[in-house]
Amino acid sequence: GGELISNILGDSSYSTLTLLSGMDGKLQHIYETLSNIEEVTVRTNNSNSFTARYVLSKINFETYKELISQTIIIVDKLPNVLGREDSKTYFVLFENNMELRPTGGFIGSYGLLTFDKGRLSDFAISDVYSADGQLNGHVEPPLPIKQYLGEANWWLRDSNWDPDFPTSAKRAEWFLDKEMDKQVDGVISVDLTPIKSFLKISGPIFLSDYNMSINADNLYEKVQSEVQDDFFAGTHKKASFLTALSRSILDKTGGLSSTQKTSVLKLVYDNLDQRHIQVFLHDSEFQNTMEVLGWDGSVFTPACSGNCYSDLVGIVEANVGVNKSNYFVTREANLDIEIDEARIDKTMTLTLKNSASANLGLSGRYKSYVRLLIPENSIAIRAESSIGQNTVVLNPEITNSKGRKEVGTIVEVLAGETKQLVFYWSAELSKQVDQYDVYIRKQAGVDGYPVNVSVSSPIRLLGSSPTFTLTNKNRKANDKPDLTYQCSNPPCDAPLPEGYEYWYNTTLVRDLFARFSY
């Protein structure tokens, strides 16, 4: 990995085919060796070896094996992506997730990244307002953009309104073509999280033109200060700063040790997994691989056959307050699923906490258009918001989109406030099911947050993946559930009063797939 990075950023020509075919063989050997070491270590651990227990506590073999497997899958497809025969130019969207948008963040700047014969030959960064200023004619925006952002026209900067990244990427390409007469070979989105992760590996970067040191701790503050203070449409200040930062990161990458370069490769994989980086390329073979790995940012609509029901749940927030208040916002979600013979009732509670100081005024207010993504056959949809004991019934906007329903509503969380947004919906079952699958989608640009899932059923489960904990469910009035009875490996012997309830708590850093068998 380190050798590949050095060649891409270097000045010397090299054969991408020779280098990458050699990497493929080495990776296969490393994977086999790692698997053998893991097998021996696990076997030794079963004999109560202290050394084996220590190794297993320090090394996550599965993580490294998965990293190697993913690299093997994409290595043979990289030569064409890196311009082995014809140069390739990619449209890079810099999405500021301190102003959250459906595919990661507000598009304040963009870059054109060109590879020629395996080398990075050009990387030019521009301000999005310079491009938007070149648009001729009127483009009708989605209704929420017009209604809540107050924009009568649709621009490149707001083109990422669809949470499905391939859809938004195509729209962004369309705007680039119309505004700048530029055609590209694909689109890549990047938010601030990977840059912060990089700085933790590389250490601080000094920008001599700005007499400024940037590290993982002050990145958000410095970027915010430079790209927003004294900003006006048409200025080159933002693009100049981001160009200097990007050049410094590339220079720093070239000087990293082999171990650090491997760490950079891992952080790229992690951020692809966690949807802080998304990829949509015109190379169909490569893009199919991105889709299989879940790195294309698409909204996956699950399906299953037989006596099975598959479910989709996704939260999409779009900051329409024209500020960077997401720096102060944290969230937690609770998904409650009640399965009966003929119906599934679901409740999603999203808790938004805004820790901004009241002194910030409107800059600290979080105004967001929140959408719930659910299956197209969902019924009995309603929503409400609450602060403490005060509850307001909402009138959500419900639309159909690509085989799913989107339930949208505007929410405002003032500085220092905590607000809950609750969605209710159901689905009718036309047949008896013996398997229930649920896909919980993580939004691009959002850091990991607590998600608590409960599944209730009158019938006990035969199994679940991941493993849900069974608790004694008791719905009698004024009676608290007995949480002392637990069963990690259902089925359990004794029937429980009032049915069965299973719990799973996690930090949602990537999509969650759960399966239940009856």
Q: Show pLDDT as tens, one digit a residue, over the chain (518 residues).
A: 567 777 788 777 777 766 666 666 666 666 677 677 777 776 776 655 656 566 555 566 676 667 777 777 777 788 889 998 899 999 999 999 999 999 999 999 999 999 999 999 999 999 999 999 999 999 999 999 999 999 999 999 999 999 999 999 999 999 999 999 999 999 999 999 999 999 999 999 999 989 999 999 999 998 888 776 555 555 567 788 888 999 899 889 888 898 898 899 889 999 999 999 999 999 998 999 899 889 999 998 888 888 889 999 999 999 999 999 999 999 999 999 999 888 999 999 999 999 999 999 999 999 999 999 999 999 999 999 999 889 999 999 999 998 999 999 999 999 999 999 999 999 998 777 888 999 999 999 999 999 999 999 887 778 888 888 876 554 333 333 333 334 444 444 444 446 788 899 999 999 999 998 88
The CATH number of the domain covering residues in 308-517:
2.60.40
The CATH number of the domain covering residues in 78-250+274-293:
3.40.630
H/E element, 259: helix 258-273
**Contact status, residue 226 vs residue 237, Cβ threshold 8 Å:** yes
Neighbouring residues of 232: CB distance < 8 A, sequence distance ≥ 6: none
> Which value, in Å, is the radius of gyration of the alpha carbons in the chain?
25
The confidence score (pLDDT) of residue 36 equals 74
**Contact status, residue 64 vs residue 35, Cβ threshold 8 Å:** no
List the one residue out of 370, 275, 383 whose CA is nearest residue 315: 370
16-45 and 2-9 helices, crossing angle to 10°: 160
SS3 label, residue 486: strand
pTM of the model: 0.87
d(CA 68, CA 53): 24
How many CB atoms sit inside 10 A of residue 136's CB? 6
Q: What does 366-433 look like in DSSP terms, one character per residue?
A: EEEEEEEEEETT-EEEEEEEEETTEEEEE--EEEEETTEEEEEEEEEE-TT-EEEEEEEEEEE-SS--
Q: How many CA atoms, within 13 angstroms, populate the side-chain half-sphere of residue 116?
A: 6
The confidence score (pLDDT) of residue 458 equals 83
Burial (CB count <10 Å: 0-12, 13-18, 19+), residue 347: middle
61-75 and 258-273 helices, crossing angle to 10°: 90
H/E element, 468: none
Domain boundaries, the chain: 2-75, 78-250+274-293, 308-517
**Contact status, residue 207 vs residue 245, Cβ threshold 8 Å:** yes
d(CA 382, CA 424): 5
- Does 308-517 match 78-250+274-293 at the fold level? no
